[in-house]
Amino acid sequence: MSSLNRFRLTLGAGFEARDIAVEQRSGAAPGLFWLNGFRSVMSGAKAMSLDALGAEKGLAVTRFDYSGDGQSGGHFDDGTISRWLEEAEAVLARTHGPQIVCGSSMGGWIGLLLARRQLAKGKPLKGLVLIAPAVDATSTLLPARMTPDQQRDLDRQGYFERQSRYGDGLYRYTSNFIADGARHQLLGSVIETGCPVHILQGGQDPDVPAAHAQRLLTHILHDPVTFTLIPDGDHRLSRDEDLQRLRAAVLGMI
């Protein structure tokens, strides 16, 4: 049975220093590389399903927590797409062989950014599996749902809070997180991934509507894309049948 290696990766210096908690299962290539969604952790249902798939098939699997969340150090309020993308890139550098990157929600956005960077280096990914990808969320999805009171809070105190739909408390969105997201917009121009892409999207997703994922499709013009719409699926897609679809999407790329 493959072994699980837990380690911490230190990034940044001074006030930017933070320790990133990583769990890496040994195994063959292609490796499976997991990217959490906003406020999600590497021990969630989809991440652990992916780890179980790796153990079953003898494949390497890498999971980690973004800074300020889960087992990693740092403060969540310091989190930005730039910061978490830097961490994803650093952890990816600790893998061996081609990788299939799987990202959920915000992790799907970061996955596309990571694919673009790898392609620029001449090291394209083996594949991308995106679950309800929240591409450009800070300039599209968030503003569309903000109430006047939340906009006032953002202007006055530099953040606003929203009660989670999933029973895990308040989600805080800072002005720095929103402003930084504008630096990483993908919609509006051709998105180059350099690899096959499979998008899994719930038809009943209130956070990343199916129309948003379908808009993403119109920007990936040069790479093969499979789009799976799950009519009764929600945002998290963590039911047993959803996890089976995730496994099938990954195995299809192997």
pLDDT at 1: 59
| Burial class of residue 90 (count of CB atoms within 10 Å of its CB; 0-12, 13-18, 19+) | middle
Segment 77-134, tens digit of pLDDT: 999 999 999 999 999 999 999 999 999 999 999 999 999 999 999 999 999 999 999 9
Q: Are 122 and 192 in contact (CB under 8 A)?
A: no
Cβ atoms within 10 Å of 218's Cβ, excluding its own: 10
**Is the alpha carbon torsion for 75, 80, 81, 83 positive or negative?**
negative
pLDDT of 16-63, one tens digit each?
Answer: 899 999 999 999 999 999 999 999 999 999 999 999 999 999 999 999
CB-based burial, 94-116: b 16+ in 10 Å, e otherwise: ebeebbbbbbbbbbbbbbbbbbb
Burial class for 63, CB neighbours closer than 10 Å (0-12, 13-18, 19+): buried
Q: Which CATH class is domain 4-136+186-253?
A: alpha beta
pTM over 0.75: yes
